[in-house]
Amino acid sequence: MLVVDDSPTIVTLLARMLRQNGYHVLEAGSAEEALEIARVETPELIFLDIVLPGMDGFACLRQLRRDPYTRDIPVIMISGNEQATEQFYVQRIGADDFMKKPFSRAEVFARIERLLDANQVPKRLPSSPPRTAGNLPGEAAAEA
């Protein structure tokens, strides 16, 4: 799991909660750091704050969804703001869930359970595989 928030208090609280339940937790204080960690470590799930220094959580989510290595990682956006427009926008740009601060332990684990199966594998269907030299459109016809 990757926890991304510029508040050390939120990161510590959420990371402790997850570790106490046996999860391996990575931490990032910025969107830029989160993108780097997500690409290298491929966490099972990302908790991503919307308001971050520099790049915000929305821009980070868009980049995660564009990258073939990170696009299928479930993302739960976190915010202290509960505006309906924000929640709608989060879902529209590809977040899997939205969690309002402050959150309870029960809420955190209910959301994880909704997104991951018993083996910590995302329940959502993966997108199409990244295009590589071996599976580009038209290659089969060229070989025939």
Which pLDDT score, from 0 to 100, does residue 122 have? 73
CB 74 within 8 A of CB 64: no
pTM listed for this prediction: 0.80
26-38 pLDDT, tens digit per residue, is 999 999 999 999 9
- Give the residue, 13 or 135, on which the prediction is more confident: 13
Six-digit token string for 63: 């980049």
Which pLDDT score, from 0 to 100, does residue 80 have? 84
86-122 burial, b if ≥16 CB within 10 A, otherwise e?
ebeebeeeebbbbbeeebeeeebeebbeebbeeeeee
Which pLDDT score, from 0 to 100, does residue 127 have? 58
Tell me the backbone φ, ψ of residue 37, rounded to 5 degrees: -65, -45
Band the pLDDT of 142: cuts 50, 70, 90: very low
39-89 pLDDT, tens digit per residue, is 999 999 999 999 999 999 999 999 999 999 999 999 999 988 766 566 667
Tell me the C-alpha distance between 56 and 47, whole Å.
Answer: 13
Tell me the backbone φ, ψ of residue 131, rounded to 5 degrees: -80, 125
Domain residue spans of the chain: 2-120
Which pLDDT score, from 0 to 100, does residue 44 have? 95
pLDDT over threshold 50, residue 105: yes
Which pLDDT score, from 0 to 100, does residue 138 have? 42
- The CATH fold assigned to 2-120 is Rossmann fold (3.40.50)
Return mean pLDDT, the chain: 84
Band the pLDDT of 94: cuts 50, 70, 90: confident
